[in-house]
Structure 1
Amino acid sequence: MKMWHAMMRLASRTWHRWREIRNNWSDYPLQEGTVWGGQYEVRRFLGMGSYGQAYVCRDQRSGATVLLKRNKPSKRMLGIQLLQRERDVMQALSHEQIPRLVAYRSSGSEEAIAMDYIEGHNLEYIIYEQGDSFTVQEALQVLRGLLQPLKHLHDSGYVHRDVRIPNVLMRDGKPYLIDYGLACRIGEQLPGPLKEALGETDAPADSAAALKTRMRRAHPASDWFGLGHLFLFLMYAGYTPPKDGMERSWEEELELPDAVKLFLRKLLNEDQGWPSTAECERELDDLLKRGDCD
């Protein structure tokens, strides 16, 4: 009996290892020069997420440069379903700071979204690779710029749910909000498999996972919360920790004007927000006009 159990455990480990190798092989990125779907020539691999891959491609029919987001083959129908959800969101949007959906294509068992490619660096690159820092005024202007596409998104009935520094591209001083893979309708209740795939899990209020849970709510407050944390990232880009090494709250560590602290608290506290994103935008406009952020 012990021999039988040992053989079963070995068979199970062998099966899981074989499946991992197969998935890694099927998800191997397309190489430069590959033409996907008979139309999109791969110029550069951008990266891979849990359910998709992104490439810079040349559309051989139009000659335009596009971003191609392809489902990961190993994720099968779940990856395709998530890609189709993203397509549906992008079809409902039309804003200069949101990538435009160009096409949705199928090729065998794979599907992909083609969208406008926005040339620029994201805030994560700007902070960690270029080493740039931001004044309070500059950081608030980034938020002000992001409220434009967010207002359009919310007015269209959707929530982004992933407003983070990797998903904000800067071009000519203007922020662009990208990656709508986690977006959903305001108030939408997702079925179990999709809920799990999109990171909607119940977490204790005092856990690190609780921050992620806050950003996954199907309410505009999730995006305000994301904006608040994005602002903190911009502020900490130029922060020098104290020599005593003690960890303190952002209110103690950052030297921010009182009016800015009040606005930031409202972004981070779902119980002290605004009736709409337009109201949030108006309050930030008033703050910038009064000069209370210097």
Structure 2
Amino acid sequence: MDYPLRQGIVWAGTYRIKEFLGMGSYGQTYRCTDLRSGSTVLLKRAKPSKRDTGRRLLRRENDILQQLDHPQLPKWLDWAVHRREGALVMEYIEGINVEQAILLKGRTYTQLEALRLLLVLFSPLDHLHQAGYVHRDVRIPNAILGVDDVHLIDLGLACRVGEKDADGPEEKPSGFADSWGPVKYRMRQPEQASDLYGLGHFFLFLMYAGYTPEEGQKERSWEEELALDPEVLSFIKGLLESRWHTTAECRHELERIVRHYSSGNKE
């Protein structure tokens, strides 16, 4: 039922499918060519096996994207109906995601580089939060290292702040440890602090990309394994412990920390 659409199919007489990009818990994404303009776009359809739930979440993502306008978030382009099935069409963002950069390219991050990347992501997150929504899926696969900027993608789980019964994914996504249950529960709460919590784990993945345990060493907590400066350690613990309830409060603190370490040229 969830077999990808064939390359070459023209969706709604307008979008020719060029490449199947991937499948998540509720949707499938494709790189397409808009036959009217020749431009490359991204088309997202609901995963057929998810039936009404998949269609409802796709519609919600479609509605949310139309309310947003930020250079680091995908632009909404169209809602295209093909044989009575609707699909979301949005801007296609060139680049690789942070997870690919780490796993495929061997990218590692210093403490300061990781903090700066978090700071860049605060801009689209703040825009999303100011519009009254929460992303709920801030992870390394959902940050694209584009040509000129870092983009936050995949708003498939985004919902309105405080929304009741907002569905979360049923499967453990990539980029998480085995203790996914509690992490998933915390990240899926419909509040701004959930995205800040996600940023905390985002930072830890960046730092672990360059971590090599000593042979025979027993597993320890991240506080013990990662050689973080006290101020940075405190900030990351604050993200994971919901010390801040709004993006604005947290962003102000991160800007201060980055200025401090940048002026001292400390990595």
Q: How does the TM-score come out when normalised to structure 1?
A: 0.84
Contact 2:17–2:33 (8 Å) recurs in 1: yes
2:132 is the alignment partner of 1:157: yes
Distance 1:98 1:45 in 2: 21
Read off the aligned partner of 1:222 and give its amino acid letter. S
Per-residue CA shift, 1:188-228, capped at 9, x if unaligned? Answer: 112xxx63x5459xxxxxx6401100000001110001000
Read off the aligned partner of 1:75 and give its amino acid letter. K
Select the residue among 105, 109, 117 that pairs with 1:134: 109
Select the residue among 53, 65, 76 that pairs with 2:40: 65
Select the residue among 234, 238, 241 that pairs with 1:266: 238
2:96 is the alignment partner of 1:121: yes
Partner of 1:284: 254
Contact 1:199–1:216 (8 Å) recurs in 2: no
Read off the aligned partner of 2:33 and give its amino acid letter. R
Matched residues, number = 257
Partner of 2:176: none
2:48 is the alignment partner of 1:76: no
Name the CA shift for 1:261/1:142 in 2 (closer, same or farther; >3 Å): same
Partner of 1:203: none
Name the CA shift for 1:42/1:208 in 2 (closer, same or farther; >3 Å): closer
Read off the aligned partner of 2:125 and give its amino acid letter. L
Partner of 2:175: none
2:14 is the alignment partner of 1:39: yes
Q: Tell me whether 66-75 or 227-236 shows the greater mean CA deviation.
A: 66-75
Q: Percent identity?
A: 51
Distance 2:37 2:230 in 1: 52
1:286 CA displacement: 0.6
1:62 CA displacement: 2.0
Select the residue among 176, 187, 191 that pairs with 1:215: 187
Contact 2:94–2:147 (8 Å) recurs in 1: no
* Structure 1 segments unaligned to the other structure (5+ residues): 1-22, 201-206
> Which gives a bigger RCO, structure 1 or 2 (Cα 8 Å, sep 6+)?
2
Q: How does 1:193-208 map to 2 (within 5 A)?
A: 195=167, 198-199=169-170, 208=180
Contact 2:145–2:151 (8 Å) recurs in 1: yes
Contact 2:25–2:170 (8 Å) recurs in 1: no
- Aligned-pair Cα RMSD in Å: 1.6
Q: How does the TM-score come out when normalised to structure 2?
A: 0.92
Read off the aligned partner of 2:260 and give its amino acid letter. R
